[in-house]
Structure 1
């Protein structure tokens, strides 16, 4: 290493500046004496002890002088010139540094000597402003090898031995650092410290004098290499952590969802319809049935009720499940005021008004005690809430409280008791909130009620209002009581505790519970609805009934407009309909996503492969209804646009009881077939469904005897495989083929199915351990092809191949093969391989009870079979992907890798037959057997990511969503690395996870039918995983641009051979090219149109991505 060049002492320690007021005094101190430099060869690489770190001055860390090593430039600088920046080199030494060395001027010879002495000592401590040291410095020529050694070890650390030996010296120097900070130097103390330092340093010099300098250089080089490697590892770990936190993916907030259980709100002018969901308030236009605006109230809790203010109809009260009551201006979606009550709220009711103040009632839900109805005074201008008093406190109080007569009369119900509260108005006409409660017991449980004050009769001189009440019971009876309050008060005056002689009018037509009942505005009619899908209008004067049948779904809630000209009905399929009272014709229809209960091992939702945001779901007709049999039977196909939150179509998939009686002669409900599986082809033209129907157990008693095996009764189940073809003329799917019992008859005979991603071919997997391949054949009659009216070829589907995989099937009692309870099936990306796996129930305990002579073939391992669908040959069976305790799994191909999700996540390289290590460890609380919630696995072909979703069934319930990326090894080898790209968790359970088919990202749907998008936040992707360029769509028709296309888009209108003839890469290119401007320029309504600046930025971003694709 080259020898150090000379440099002035001021230049060697540039960068330390002190205040101008102390400059002259410290310069005089420096000129007044000389300093002494003591040889401390071990100080340069000494590591401070914890005690030294505690006693080090705080300004030491900010002082770059303590980090500057012996690096001297040939330039010099005076005290008046600007200091030149030095590049500090990190060193573990942290000792005292004098602030006075960076100021003032000194002689050139002193500066050179001081600089050289600094290189020997490794610390600038000798340049402190003390007048005590006046000895001349020792000549440096006597130890040239020592200086050479320290110049060589500038960038490295000394060995641990030298570091441990120098701790005492560092502590002493740290103590000296405090003395340096004082304004006046303490000569005696510094002298003692210098003497101790000299003695200790001399000892260190003697110990290190005999060490070999070449060995020291080698050790320093090795340490420098280790330091560099550690820094690289730390940098890589930090990069991975930053990629995990900000990888470019974002989970959107919940959209859509189920409408809450309350009456729809119509504004006074009948122009707007306000419908709350569990997450937001949605305002619709009654003229167009489109969303005008929506706003979220609280992200941490669910909305329980909302009601319009009586002071200002533009203001809306909203209550949440965690005790937040708020006041909003629904015309601008602006919050006026919020108040936390501390308890969960079930209902909010505006009561009365007094100029700018309004009194409201909130029903508080106390888990440990009775429910409490409390009154609050609200300043509607300032948005402040003040609690007044408790009005009512009862156990099991239902959240259906009504108020009448400007708040002077309240009605509530508890099971079979109707509570009526009455308070006398003050002289000023206001209520004092002191209610007298009276009860009446009804002959059944109350399911709904409504009340109205007869204004014509109330104009008399008596103080008690004429209150008429209609009560709906759980047995279908409607009880009508006229002037009920006056009769109850009369009973009290006669000292009669019983109310049996208060007889109401009995109206009975409904077979089941009356879900809703309402008075008309003219008080001449009563409107009711129930599970019979019929709206009943009762004419009280003539005792006649008028019906509006075939609504196809139960009626849950009903409200009458202020003018009495329309009815707003909330139906069981998560929709709201507004009917005109004149002709009972619908004028407004708002539909939400109507998914039913979650299937255990299947998902009943698919995304259209060619139309953006088009969701196809098998839904029940009563998804929003409550009861033991509601929401279980998926009989309808709902085509839903998730981008605009609008229903695009609806049709039947099975036979149903929509237009017929749903009750048997014995009174029990008739079961409907339910769709258990759904799949769509790669071109979007073919739809496959599997439905299953099982009769009531009572109907099978006469067909079997007690000696028959129980499994014979399950063979009465009817299973059908249906193939549907899209009809462009009628905008719906038409059934082409129905296959009865596609697998061995029995319950859950079909456990899964999947379409070939490259051609029109379907594979089904059954409980009989077989895989069957289905393919269409052209219809011919007498050698002539059969065509429809549009001259299109007609097809018939049939089984082309059956593949048996029963070699590992266990045998049950009496030597009968056991039936699988669940299975997994997946096609490879090129359609050349089918992966299949079965799961059988545990039969070990049952087998041990059988006689010794019985033979059994229990399954010891869970195999995943790789099958060639063209020949039906099992190419390979892998036993290491599934554990022996697995009860279900999801399979997915990603290029050459087979991904299996069960109790663990395993990845198999199908070419090398080796498992790929995964960094993801699934929580035991979210996978079987701890959790029985379904789990999901999906792959996006545009960005090459993999998403998995697991849920926890026990409380506290929650869901974890993880996105993974598979990338090649950095060394260039055939191995792959699995990285976690994104991870999120939320409290809701999940019904489905789907990969977006027209762009990168995923769709997540929770148990309340709220859907969220997981999309990259870095922009619009224009490339698929395969790397091929996307062909830009140059010409587009007006119908395509303006959205005037068929229900499933122009892709479905192609002839039968067009899209099927295209290779997969070409079809994907057309799909990817459509995703850009369509996604940016598509708005569900005028209220959701962004600002011009934001719209311009979106369009420019999409065009920029397209330009980059062309350049590439």
Structure 2
């Protein structure tokens, strides 16, 4: 079994010492990518649960070559030491609780090839106490513990206890570590020599809002904290009193009311505190430049902000296209990387901040309003190239290699910039690929605003010179006269496609090319229109040889000659409307799925127009082999007290069309809205060398689950929900002169023009109060 589609952004990645490799936490493994090509080099396999941290061992200044050693932590309660050049597991340390975060202070003073005994190498880990009840509101499930990595033993007591495990931040020198805890920041100074637990002192810094992230200055006692409202607080000279016993006694009773501590709250140990505010929502990224002159910040709006530390002036790196999660420095000062919430890592050239390479995983789909009422297709397959096409949240179609496990390309269907504060009004609803991947069709829907402006657009695309590259050929507005498009399908071996609508018709589209004197005119046009008793058309498919077109008219299947647009036969009747039709290879059988109150899986024989067998099963998807008379179906178990949920597991059943007894079964996770496909074997790989009786390769069955399944296996991506932060918002009071401020503010956070325009025009009208007599 081959698995793929990993989450690349569950934790922050780390560069190797020569900056030529990037170590990324991907589920239970650590994937190592080349920073030159963006391709996967090797993997570290040994953990049994989610890997949460990677710490690369630095190289000594006098080392003759770069060493490739690292420490990793995992939720499987282990710390591992690796030679990632081999790759080889060198040492494993057992910890009693799942590890959420790990740092190793002063590791830069020791090297893997040093003859010095690593007696001063200690790991500070943030663990989750799973022995305490998770549903208890005040249970302290987060702990900060210390482990000696040399003798594999825990040292001292607990540095801190929190309601939930917190990520540990560390200064570049390793002198300070810190965590956020609600409205407070805890920092500790770590002794460099003769490590003693009692010598570690804690410093508290307070705020009125919850913190979301923090960062240490590389050379000065400056710490920055970002809160959930978008504010950035900067403390200068922190820890001077608490870290000095004499100074602590002399400053007893000192408060922030003194003129020498502007902005400092209570008795916090800092010289001053200043506040910057640009981000409209929570700050997720904070880091200082290597020289300490600049502070970088980022959040949901997908913009990297560069602050000049001395003056507070800022500049921007916009259009990163997704909320920002992590920033990672590189040993090469001209290279760094940013991890984004769309499951991509961008390698950035500094200081220009230009993206030089991207490492992309499977992106999350777009969940548009009332999805359960709208026809949609989340996946399509390019069988000739081994690619899966996915609808993404940024109005793109992403092409992902199933065998190589990386993003091949993206096709921008709707030309729209990333707007985090904008309610999505346009989305890609349907997509379809021809069997050979040479053609693609998409349907995009524009939702009405205040009952006006809705639009359905059908687009046809042709593949370019490279795999996964598509060029727009034809745009058709309202292809079914304002009725929603329910299905798309291509005819194998022909430049022909069909679209069905809930308005009671289907249309056959044909590609034409007309050579004229001065130019050549080409595109897609409607060849014919068909209907059956004005019933809504809910699904469609062409036979393997393209001679038969099957269209579902609610509970019956109509069979058509696609060239003559002539009705050949009608078969049915099912209990509920048919949602999927598939021809079983080159045989005379079709498979249908019906959903609703009486779901049904049915197999029909076209030779005698009768049903062969059926089951009352709640199925999500069906896939048929190209040459064999076999098919696989993804089934959800019945839920006694309600509809199926996204976190529900399922079963894949493999059938022969003539026999109702399954040939094989597989249990799968998170089956809701999943999909199946039979792909031809990849002959370049050893695992596909299996052949059947006639010497041909056995097809591979591909299962891909939806967003919830993807996040549940590899760790959930952070949710940007301001309601969870329990922020008490100030009520909005409309201005008496809104036209003076309605267009003010940063372009990154302005609402769309359609909303601005109506508010602007309303502000110009004079309102009068009248009473009716």
TM-score if structure 2 supplies the norm length?
Answer: 0.74
Match of 1:679 in 2: 432
Per-residue Cα deviation, 1:35-55 (whole angstroms, up to 9, x for no partner): xxxxxxxxxxxxxxxxxxxxx
- 3-state SS of 1:638 partner: strand
The counterpart of 1:289, out of the listed 23, 38, 58, is: 38
Q: How does 1:301-312 map to 2 (within 5 A)?
A: 301-309=49-57
Q: Would you say 1:636 and 2:396 are equivalent positions?
A: yes
In 2, distance between residues paired with 1:607 and 1:940? 13
Q: Is the 8 A contact 1:636 1:654 kept in 2?
A: yes
Q: How does 1:662-677 map to 2 (within 5 A)?
A: 662=419, 668-671=421-424, 673-677=426-430
Asked if 1:446 is matched to 2:205, the reply is no
Which of 175, 185, 195 pairs up with 1:418?
185
Give distance in 1, aligned partners of 2:182 and 2:636: 35
**The one of 644, 653, 669 aligned to 1:962:** 653
Q: CA deviation at 1:265?
A: 0.6
SS in 2 for 1:270: coil
SS in 2 for 1:485: coil
User: What is the CA–CA distance in structure 1 between the aligned matches of 2:287 and 2:398, rounded to whole Å?
Assistant: 31
Deviations 1:1009-1037 (A, max 9, x none): xxx999684479754999xxxxxxxxxxx
Change over 3 Å in CA distance of 1:432–1:1023 after alignment to 2 = closer
Q: Tell me the equivalent position of 1:606.
A: 380
Contact 2:512 2:525 in 1 (8 A): yes
- 1:429 matched to 2:194? The reply is yes
Deviation at 1:441, TM superposition (A): 3.1
Aligned residue runs from structure 1 range 207-222, under 5 A: none
Aligned residue in 2 for 1:826: 541
Alignment of structure 1 residues 883-894 onto 2, 5 Å:
883-884=575-576, 888-889=579-580, 891-894=582-585
Name the residue aligned to 2:329: 560
The answer to whether the aligner puts 1:391 opposite 2:391 as a matched pair is: no
Alignment of 1:936 onto 2:632 = no
The 3 A distance-change label for structure 1 pair 733 and 785 is: farther
Question: What are the equivalent positions in structure 2 for 1:996-1075 lying under 5 Å apart?
Answer: 996-999=678-681, 1017-1018=690-691, 1023=696
CA–CA separation in structure 1 for the residues paired with 2:550 and 2:440? 22
2-structure distance, mates of 1:387, 1:873? 81
For 1:311 and 1:957, the matched residues in 2 are separated by: 47
CA contact (8 A) 2:651 2:668 kept: yes
Q: Deviations 1:287-335 (Å, cap 9, x if unpaired)? A: 3322221133345x33333333579974333333443443333222322
Q: Distance in 1 between matches of 2:196 and 2:398?
A: 50
Decide whether aligned partners of structure 1 residues 1014 and 691 sit closer, same or farther in structure 2, where only a CA change above 3 A counts: farther
Partner of 2:505: 770
CA 1:534–1:773: 2 relative to 1, 3 Å: same
CA distance in 1, matches of 2:506, 2:207: 59
TM-score between the two structures when normalised by the length of structure 1: 0.53
Tell whether 2:344 aligns with 1:575.
Answer: yes
CA distance, structure 2, for counterparts of residue 324 and residue 986 of structure 1: 27
Question: 1: distance between equivalents of 2:580 and 2:153?
Answer: 53
CA deviations over 1:401-459 (Å, ceiling 9, x no partner) = 11348766431112333223456x49x531416755443332433232211363xxxxx
Partner of 1:535: 304
- 8 A contact 1:343–1:364 mirrored in 2: yes
Q: Out of 476, 480, 494, which is 1:739 matched to?
A: 476
Q: 1:950 aligns to what?
A: 635
* Residue 654 (str. 1) matches residue 403 (str. 2): no
**Deviation (angstroms), 1:827:** 1.9
CA deviation string 1:507-556 (max 9, x = no partner): 23334332211011211111222334333222223443333333334432
Question: SS state of the match for residue 757, structure 1?
Answer: coil
Provide the secondary structure at the position in 2 that maps to 1:829.
coil
- Give 1:909 deviation, angstroms: 0.9
* Structure 2: gaps spanning 5 or more residues: 61-66, 108-115, 258-263, 638-643, 700-773
Q: Distance in 1 between matches of 2:563 and 2:278?
A: 60
Q: Which protein is richer in helix relative to its size?
A: 1
Measure how far apart 1:281 and its partner are. Answer: 1.0
Deviations 1:373-427 (A, max 9, x none): 24243445x8x454753221111443x211348766431112333223456x49x
Matched pairs, number = 645
For the 8 Å contact 1:826–1:893, the answer to whether it is kept is no
Q: How does 1:221-240 map to 2 (within 5 A)?
A: none
In structure 2, do the counterparts of structure 1 residues 482 and 669 end up closer, same or farther at CA, with 3 Å as the change threshold? Answer: same
Structure 2 counterpart of 1:514: 283
Asked if the contact 2:335/2:348 (under 8 Å) is kept, the reply is: yes
Return the offset for 1:825: 2.1
- From the superposition, tell whether residues 958 and 430 of structure 1 become closer, same or farther in structure 2 (CA, over 3 Å): same
Deviations 1:903-938 (A, max 9, x none): 3422111222333246x885xxxx37xxxxxx2211
Asked if 2 retains the 8 angstrom alpha-carbon contact of 1:514 and 1:530, the reply is yes
Shift of 1:691: 0.8
Q: CA deviation at 1:607?
A: 3.0
CA contact (8 A) 1:478 1:508 kept: yes
CA apart distance, 1:993? 3.6
Q: Distance in 2 between matches of 1:431 and 1:745?
A: 74
Q: Is the 8 A contact 1:943 1:1024 kept in 2?
A: no
Q: 1:480 to 1:900 in 2, by over 3 A?
A: same
- Distance in structure 1 (CA, Å) of the matches to 2:223 and 2:568: 74
* Cα RMSD after superposing both structures: 3.8
The answer on whether the counterparts of 2:122 and 2:149 sit within 8 Å (CA) in structure 1 is no
Distance, in Å, in 1 between the alignment partners of 2:466 and 2:201 is 65
Identify which of 505, 525, 548 aligns with 1:798. 525
Name the residue aligned to 1:263.
Answer: 12
Residue deviations 1:1025-1069 (CA, integer Å, cap 9, x gap): 99xxxxxxxxxxxxxxxxxxxxxxxxxxxxxxxxxxxxxxxxxxx
Partner of 1:372: 142
Q: Is the 8 A contact 2:548 2:561 kept in 1?
A: yes
Say if 1:770 and 1:804, in contact at 8 Å, map to a contact too. Answer: yes
| Correspondence 1:355 to 2:143 | no
Q: Deviations over 1:336-373 (max 9, x none)?
A: 33455454332222245693343223322333532232
Paired residue for 2:253?
A: 494
CA gap 1:309/1:691 in 2 versus in 1, 3 angstroms? same
Q: Could you give the per-residue CA deviations for residues 662-699 of structure 1, whole angstroms, max 9, x where no partner exists?
A: 37xxxx5152522111112344332111111225xxx5
Change (3 A) 1:897 1:403: same
Check whether the contact 1:311–1:356 (CA below 8 A) recurs between aligned residues. no
Matches of 1:868 and 1:956, distance apart in 2: 42
Residue 900 of structure 1: aligned partner: 592
Pick the structure with more strand per residue. Answer: 2
Q: Which residue of 2 aligns with 1:402?
A: 169
Alpha-carbon separation, structure 2, partners of 1:979 and 1:602: 31
- Residue 590 of structure 1 is matched in structure 2 by 359
DSSP 3-state at the match of 1:690: strand
For residues 682 and 85 of structure 2, the distance between their equivalents in structure 1, rounded to whole angstroms, comes to 35
**Counterpart of 1:504 in 2: which secondary structure?**
strand
Q: What pairs up with 1:145-224 in 2 under 5 angstroms?
A: none
User: Does structure 1 conserve the Cα–Cα contact (< 8 Å) formed by 2:306 and 2:315?
Assistant: yes
Shift in alpha-carbon separation, 1:1025–1:485, aligned structure 2, 3 A: closer
Name 2:609's counterpart in structure 1: 913
